[in-house]
């Protein structure tokens, strides 16, 4: 027997199309649940929620639930409601994130907090979060509820951890990985894991899908944090340099600071503390990152976690679902090239 | 057989002592759960949460769960964890409320958002909210999860409804009742109802306890809203006149506006829109409320709902628990005298 070795190949042109095609029908049904359950007698709720939910999100997390269910040949419909619950948790987090960061651009559109104010964003986030639990309760699996309530608590912890690391130049790569593991990867992992629960598979397959999602989530966030230093608002739908101006300790900064000489270290201290935040300072920062290969190596780290995500699928037999999930990883790590 | 008719008597000096005595032992166990489960590896979380949780709250909602369980002679321990979950939902709501309102005083102490900033308050609120669901999942009752996730969604809807009524002079008493029914009474009702679930009673007793909690919650909020026009920060632990300055359409304002002459109506329009918000304006507003009996009749409305709360207990046989729960209602409606 010959082993099938899936190696990430950044020279290809990977796409999300296979995974989107795989789950397109299911995703329509998920979208119907989402639209139905974001309704309320209070008009501001669907108005504000709809701005973000209808506003160009890729539905990446629900797609992971759906693709994982395909991988397991799950033939039921429970995952539609649960995928909607996952998206509601994510949307609630985005609404609160934008308040926390004071962001004004998300997915290329003005943020909800900019249009309706911080109070409305906080409260509609709370509503969507509650609604996500109502969806889970309707499904009725205590195991799913445990996975997703646990992930929600971990996400909040990760967000607080990130908040307290802001403008702290001493933040380590280990702490950064803790933060993104919690704020991003926990929900990716849970989104995949719950598919194994509804498909009534054992702990081994649950753990494998959890590992796929978790490593993909880390890779995804690493690339996202790298992109903040290579792109502009037009291509990414968020303001380039946001992380820089907010003094966020992402891996590109951690690496550039660790590798910099005394003069560069002084610049980074000033930049992270908020004393250097002009467009010229950002351009200088990007130059230093090229010099120290900080962005390149952030992307190399992303490929490492991407490879781990792919390998986590090793126990599943091949087919369209597996291939699409592998290509989704390749797409995630290739985005910045 | 002679009927026992419990009439609210505002001339007495009702106290929370009987209900506090009734549940003191249980409440210690609930507090232990609360302290244990607000912990996190991220130090800011217990620090911020502890400021509010340890900071003089009366634990009114968990007390309702515990007292209701006593009323039903429930001998188990499940309600301790669930009462802690109720308090976490409430605490999360308070943290977010203070961000929404921009409050700087709560229970006589500086608010968390003032000390640690809005971002931390939003995120720690999210953490406590997630943690409350983890506690419910550990308990394992889907029925309790349904009641409390439903209440949480209703609370968020009520908060958004209140937000969109701010500075709107045309807000009706009906809309006001919708708002406080959702933002306050829903959790009071749920806190009582879940005791009947853990005690494995039928729908009738669930509904009776729900009605007790709901009417008590409405009475409680009516009195709270009246107090904002009769007290000062020293006695109430929040800034008197906060509602006035924020242009909140509470019942005292709705009644004073409805009953005012043309000149008074003009004043209220200006005040609610934010054009009249000085201390002198507040004093004038309080004078108008005395003239129109707006505060007195807000308190009369509170007594009406208090009486309904007491009557909802009519089906339960008397005893220390029932008497304490009745006196708690009397205390709630007598606070402002």
Q: Round to whole Å and give the CA distance between B66 and B73.
A: 10
For residue A67 the two structure tokens come to: 């693709």
Residue B73 class from Cβ within 10 Å (0-12 exposed, 13-18 middle, 19+ buried)? exposed
B82: CB partners within 8 A, 6+ apart: B65, B135, B136, B139, B144, B194, B198
Inter-chain touch A149–B130, beta carbons under 8 Å: yes
Residue A41 with chain B: CB contacts under 8 Å: 157
CA B26/CA A154 separation, integer angstroms: 29
pLDDT of residue A234: 45
| Cα separation, B299 vs B251, whole angstroms | 10
pLDDT for position A109: 87
Name all domains of chain B by residue range, CATH numbers in brackets: 17-330 (1.10.600.10)
Write the residue in B42, B92, B133 that is nearest to A133 by C-beta: B133
Question: What whole-number distance in Å separates Cα of residue A154 and Cα of residue B52?
Answer: 21
Judged on CB neighbours under 10 Å (0-12, 13-18, 19+), B275 is exposed
Which residues have C-beta within 8 Å of that of residue A10, sequence separation ≥ 6? A303, A330, A333, A334, A337
Spell out which residues of chain B touch residue A119, defining contact as CB-CB under 8 Å. 99-101, 163
Measured distance CA(A206)–CA(A69) in Å, rounded = 11
pLDDT tier for residue A1 given thresholds of 50, 70 and 90: very low
- Which of residues A135 and B233 earns the better pLDDT score? A135
Shortest CA gap B251–chain A (Å): 20
pLDDT of residue A11: 58
Given this model, what pLDDT does residue B3 score? Answer: 61
Helix (H, G, I), strand (E, B) or coil at A78: helix
C-alpha to C-alpha distance for B281 and A53, rounded to whole angstroms: 43
Q: Which residues of chain A make contact with B161, given a CB cutoff of 8 A? A: 42
Residue B135 distance to chain A (closest CA, Å): 9
Rounded CA-CA distance B248/B226 in Å is 12
- Residue bearing tokens 């560069």: A264
Phi, psi of A167 (to 5 degrees): 65, 20
Q: How far is A166 from chain B (nearest CA, A)?
A: 12
Cα separation of A7 and B257, whole Å?
72
Q: Indicate the residue of A96, A122, A160 with minimum beta-carbon distance to B44.
A: A160
pLDDT score of B181:
98
Kindly report the nearest CA distance between residue A192 and chain B, in angstroms.
Answer: 20
Q: Which residues in chain B are closer than 8 Å to A171, comparing Cβ atoms?
A: none
Which parts of chain A fold into alpha helices (H)?
17-37, 44-53, 60-71, 78-101, 112-116, 118-139, 142-165, 173-180, 186-198, 203-227, 233-236, 242-246, 251-259, 262-273, 279-292, 294-312, 320-334
pLDDT in tens, B128-160: 999 999 999 999 999 999 999 999 999 999 999
The residues, ordered by sequence, that sit 6+ positions from A232 with a Cβ below 8 Å of its Cβ are A240
Residue of chain A minimizing CA distance to B147: A134
**Other residues' Cβ atoms within 10 Å of the Cβ of residue B228:** 24
Whether B279 and B246 have beta carbons less than 8 Å apart is answered as no
Cβ contact (<8 Å) for B119 and A99? yes
Q: Give yes or no for a contact between A238 and A261, defined as CB atoms under 8 angstroms apart.
A: no
DSSP B313: T
Q: Structure tokens of A26?
A: 């299911």
CB B226, CB B299: distance < 8 Å: yes
Inter-chain contact B122–A120, Cβ cutoff 8 Å?
no
Residues of chain B with pLDDT under 50: 1, 233-236
Report residue A206 as tokens.
Answer: 């649950």
Shortest Cα distance, chain B CAs vs residue A11, angstroms:
40
- Interface with chain B: mutation pick from A130, A166, A179, highest number of B CBs within 10 Å: A130
* Chain B contact probe: residue of A44, A45, A112, A119 with most B CBs at under 10 A: A119
Q: What are the pLDDT digits (tens) for A174-222?
A: 999 999 999 999 999 999 999 999 999 999 999 999 999 999 999 999 9
Question: Taking the CA of residue A329 as centre, how many other CA atoms within 13 Å lie in the half-sphere pointing to its CB?
Answer: 31
Res A107: pLDDT: 78
Q: Which residues contact B323 (CB under 8 A, 6 or more apart)?
A: B18
Quick one: residue B12, left, alpha or beta (phi over 0 = left, psi -120 to 50 = alpha)?
A: beta
Instruction: Count CB pairs under 8 A between chains A and B.
Output: 136
Question: Closest to B164 (Cβ–Cβ): which among A44, A161, A163?
Answer: A44
Q: Do B140 and A142 touch (CB under 8 A)?
A: yes
Whole-angstrom Cα Rg for chain A: 20
- Identify which of B124, B127, B156 has the shortest CB distance to residue A130: B156
Q: How far is B70 from chain A (nearest CA, A)?
A: 28
* Tokens found for residue A288: 């230093």
H/E run at residue B110: strand B109-110
Q: Which of B119, B145, B157 sits opposite A163 (nearest CB)?
A: B119
Q: Please report the pLDDT score of residue B231 as a whole number.
A: 59
| pLDDT at A167 (0 to 100) | 97
**Contact present, A95 and A124 (Cβ < 8 Å):** yes
Give, in order, the Cα–Cα distances in Å from A304 to each of A5, A176, A329, B66.
15, 16, 11, 52
Chain A residues lying within 8 Å of B131, measured CB to CB: 153
The pLDDT-based confidence of A232 (bands split at 50, 70, 90) is low
Residue of A nearest to B150 (CA): A134
pLDDT at position B242, please? 87
How far is A165 from chain B, CA to nearest CA, in Å?
11
With 90 as the cut, is the pLDDT of residue A257 above it? yes
**Structure tokens given for B33:** 């759960």
- Closest by CA to A123, choosing from B166, B39, B193, B250, is B166
Given an 8 Å threshold on Cβ–Cβ distance, is A45 in contact with B157? yes
All residues at 6 or more sequence positions from B144 whose CB lies less than 8 Å from its CB, including other chains? B82, B136, B194, B197, B198
């Amino acid at each position: 027997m010959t082993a099938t070795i899936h190696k990430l190949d950044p020279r290809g042109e990977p796409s999300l199309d296979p995974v989107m095609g795989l789950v397109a029908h299911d995703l329509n049904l998920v979208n119907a649940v989402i639209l139905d359950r974001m309704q309320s007698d209070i008009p501001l709720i669907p108005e504000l929620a709809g701005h973000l939910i209808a506003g160009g999100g890729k539905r990446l997390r629900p797609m992971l639930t759906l693709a994982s269910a395909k991988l397991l040949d799950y033939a039921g419909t429970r995952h539609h409601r649960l995928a909607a619950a996952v998206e509601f948790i994510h949307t609630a987090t985005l609404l609160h994130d934008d308040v926390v960061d004071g962001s004004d651009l998300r997915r290329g559109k003005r943020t909800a907090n900019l249009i309706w104010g911080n109070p409305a964003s906080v409260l509609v986030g709370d509503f969507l979060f509650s609604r996500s639990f109502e969806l889970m309760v309707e499904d009725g699996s205590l195991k799913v509820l445990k996975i997703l309530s646990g992930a929600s608590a971990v996400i909040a912890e990760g967000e607080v951890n990130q908040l307290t690391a802001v403008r702290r130049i001493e933040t380590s790569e280990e702490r950064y990985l803790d933060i993104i593991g919690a704020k991003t990867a926990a929900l990716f992992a849970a989104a995949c894991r719950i598919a194994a629960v509804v498909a009534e598979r054992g702990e081994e397959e649950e753990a494998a899908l959890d590992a796929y999602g978790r490593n993909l989530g880390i890779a995804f966030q690493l690339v996202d944090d790298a992109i903040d230093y290579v792109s502009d608002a037009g291509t990414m739908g968020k303001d380039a340099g946001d992380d820089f101006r907010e003094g966020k300790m992402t891996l590109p900064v951690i690496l550039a600071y660790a590798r910099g000489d005394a003069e560069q270290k002084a610049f980074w201290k000033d930049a992270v503390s908020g004393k250097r935040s002009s467009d010229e300072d950002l351009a200088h920062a990007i130059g230093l990152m090229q010099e120290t290969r900080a962005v390149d190596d952030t992307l190399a780290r992303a490929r490492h976690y991407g490879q781990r995500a792919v390998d986590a699928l090793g126990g599943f037999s091949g087919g369209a679902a597996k291939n699409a999930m592998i290509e989704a990883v390749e797409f995630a790590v290739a985005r910045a090239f």
